[in-house]
Structure 1
């Protein structure tokens, strides 16, 4: 139920290919409002098709913001996204805001605040990655316990990406990641009437959508986008270089993989990503209403 006199915000989260963008557009056309991107890959330019950004026709039917506005050579943080959202909140008067995307950390920061963690250089991150490559899971966790015991307790399992992040922050800043996380800034929707939802389609339906999506991407401009990205000669550690499809299409362009193999590998990677997203939303947003479309 909407609270009278309060500005409205709709938060639409969900895994990739769950129909979030279509739902957001339908709401914006029916009820008005500004669609705000909450996907960490769709903020970057160059990769519209690969990251499944809304097409030009959709963008013309309703106002969309924070889509493709960040240069590919940039490391765009959650804090920077939240700062951009603050500007939108202050500049759109009383219009409803419709946040849509699959990046759980963006939604978490929006509602609960965020930890302002300094940027860590790629060199430090690479050094940590090389160090933990030769360690098994128990050894990795023990290393983290020595440098950030609280982060190790929160992590519990030796997820390489999160473990690397915690170690790199400690070594780059001298402060533990957990200390930054416990020192949060405020979220961005104080005073809003907030409606939350997680799109949670049937697993088989989602798998079919993912398979069809990447086949269409490959034929609809994804190859040309990856070629354009490669011409920029960017640091391989940049977030945009890790977008699903970049490596797989690159392997096909280099003759390392056949076309069908590249599509299959990208589809598998997308399935795995969607599974991680669903797990994250289930664990962190378990009280949000579920909706299947």
Structure 2
């Protein structure tokens, strides 16, 4: 009889506030597994509440990796996450690995592979941001077409983030981002038995959970988290500075809006983000096991 795969991974995706972390913890306790953060913002220090990172009490007794390990001054890329995840897989691969989060590209790195783009130094990003600053959509399109026509042909829309990313890679490496994307790679979990699931709560249930969760975040010190982040005097374009809740609470702290409005704006932004997540999952994870909690 053929021997089955010895290595096992459980992948739990889903929109924000869908209950992913609780399910991951339950599975880890049942199977003696390791929970690995698969969310682009929960890697950052300082913002434990606003990124809904599990608390120390919740994590007690179960190994959790890649939570709160990156300074908010760092632009932590998908490539950086993939390299960190590869190291964890090498170290913990004999235990069940439970990857949980909401960042679709991270799951693609696990299952189908992701371009291994070198880390881009801050000065290369700054130069790209300076080139793009103040440009409208058409001007961004002309800029990327002139500098990197291959990437330009692949962009459905020349939004600032993607144009800056492509220009920064070109500045740092002298190579088109497309050339890295075209290099065939296996997924990080190649050879694993993989269980894939997407949590898909009822829309109205999720909307209510989002509102209640943000109100709880605020009550337990989210404003103090933002104060601590702002005290670091960081570049406002950094991912941590754009986390949902940070701009809204920062506006409140400056006296521009009242507390109720800050909460309302953050709840609306979170619901919009959850909608974008669902769209990604429907387009890219339609063959996963969809579960209504």
Alignment TM-score, normalising by the size of structure 1: 0.91
Question: C-alpha displacement at 1:22, in angstroms?
Answer: 1.0
Alignment partner of 2:130 out of 121, 127, 130: 127
Q: Which residue of 2 aligns with 1:276?
A: 276
Question: C-alpha displacement at 1:102, in angstroms?
Answer: 0.5
For the Cα contact (< 8 Å) 1:9–1:193, is it kept in 2? yes
- Superposed, 1:158-169 pairs within 5 Å as 158-169=158-169
Match of 1:46, SS?
coil
Q: Which residue of 1 aligns with 2:226?
A: 226
**Inter-partner Cα distance in structure 2 for 1:13 and 1:39:** 9
**Structure 2: gaps spanning 5 or more residues:** none
When the two structures are aligned, how many residues end up with a matched partner? 288
Q: Which residue of 2 aligns with 1:195?
A: 195
**Structure 1: gaps spanning 5 or more residues:** none
Tell me how large the CA RMSD over aligned residues is: 1.9
Question: C-alpha displacement at 1:42, in angstroms?
Answer: 0.3
Match status 1:68 vs 2:71 = no
**Inter-partner Cα distance in structure 2 for 1:77 and 1:263:** 29
- Superposed, 1:110-259 pairs within 5 Å as 110-118=110-118, 119=120, 121=122, 122-130=125-133, 133-135=134-136, 137-259=137-259
**Inter-partner Cα distance in structure 1 for 2:180 and 2:90:** 27
**Inter-partner Cα distance in structure 2 for 1:55 and 1:123:** 34
For the Cα contact (< 8 Å) 2:5–2:191, is it kept in 1? no
**Inter-partner Cα distance in structure 2 for 1:263 and 1:10:** 34
Match of 1:233, SS?
coil
Out of 216-225 and 175-184, give the one that drifted further.
175-184
For the Cα contact (< 8 Å) 2:25–2:35, is it kept in 1? yes
The verdict on how the C-alpha distance between 1:211 and 1:67 changes in structure 2, with shifts beyond 3 A counting, is: same
**Inter-partner Cα distance in structure 1 for 2:262 and 2:121:** 32
Question: C-alpha displacement at 1:93, in angstroms?
Answer: 5.0
Deviation readout 1:37-72 (Å, 9 max, x if unpaired): 000100111110010001122100422111011122
Question: C-alpha displacement at 1:32, in angstroms?
Answer: 2.2
Q: Which residue of 2 aligns with 1:12?
A: 12
Question: C-alpha displacement at 1:183, in angstroms?
Answer: 2.1
Alignment TM-score, normalising by the size of structure 2: 0.91
**Inter-partner Cα distance in structure 2 for 1:117 and 1:259:** 41
Match status 1:25 vs 2:28 = no
**Inter-partner Cα distance in structure 1 for 2:98 and 2:154:** 32
**Inter-partner Cα distance in structure 2 for 1:104 and 1:70:** 20
**Inter-partner Cα distance in structure 1 for 2:128 and 2:19:** 34
**Inter-partner Cα distance in structure 1 for 2:278 and 2:106:** 15
Q: Which residue of 2 aligns with 1:264?
A: 264
**Inter-partner Cα distance in structure 1 for 2:93 and 2:198:** 26
